[in-house]
Amino acid sequence: MATSETRARPRKAGTPKAAKAPASRSSAAAKKASVKKAPATKGPAKKKATAAKAAPKKPVAPKKTTGAKAVAQAGPAKKPARPKVAKVLDAAARLRRVVLDALDDLKAKDITEIDVRGKSGVTDLLVIASGTSSRHVKSIADEVVKKAKQAGNPPIGVEGQREAEWVLVDLGDVVVHVMLPRTREFYGLERLWTVGDAEPAMLAG
């Protein structure tokens, strides 16, 4: 058994208590300091950084090209569209030219043109011509039909080819009358369609 002396030894007077090592406190403080995060940015500096990230980038405007390069990039200038009325008039003018050429090729006589726009809802132009005989009248009408088909304007109808005293060729915008002189004089189409108008124009033939 341990004696009372070994259990409690008396402390000498003037001997201080064992002080705790200060190193332990300093190491704990160092750990706390390492755990602390770096202070966050505060104030206007933080707002500026956030605004700079949020602001979208301005698109860079392309450089303007002038002179010949600009013309080359833009391509050829588009021609203004012609109105439909002009196309219709051009088609009628071409058809008229086809008819007159066919009459001239077959030596038709006394060719007359009568503008009946506003007077007839059937056609715009009447062309009247004479042949020296029934055979000549038929040949002239056949030539008109042939030339019109070649130009892409086949006739709507042809009448009077059997007797060949008066052959009518209906081309839509232009109606051609090829007649014998006596038949032409008897019916007087020029007088009928030009009542109150000036004398119809007669072409040399």
Model confidence at 185: pLDDT above 90: yes
Boundaries of domain holding 118: 86-202
pLDDT in tens, 77-104: 565 555 554 565 688 899 999 999 999 9
Mean pLDDT of 3-7: 47
Q: Print the SS3 string covering the chain.
A: CCCHHHHCCCCCCCCCCCCCCHHHHHHHHHHHHHHCCCCCCCCHHHHHHHHHHHCCCCCCCCCCCCCHHHHHHHCCCCCCCCCHHHHHHHHHHHHHHHHHHHHHHCCCEEEEEEECECCECCCCEEEEEECCCHHHHHHHHHHHHHHHHHCCCCCCEEECCCCCCEEEEECCCEEEEEECHHHHHHHCHHHHHCCCCCCCEECCC
Task: Tell whether the model's pLDDT for residue 112 goes beyond 80.
Answer: yes
pTM over 0.75: no
What's 195's domain CATH number? 3.30.460.10
Q: Is residue 146 part of a domain?
A: yes
pLDDT above 70 covers a percentage of the chain that reads 51
Domain count, the chain: 1
Residue 167 lies in a domain: yes
Q: Does residue 96 lie within any of the structural domains?
A: yes
pLDDT of 125-165, one tens digit each?
Answer: 999 999 999 999 999 999 999 999 999 999 999 999 999 99
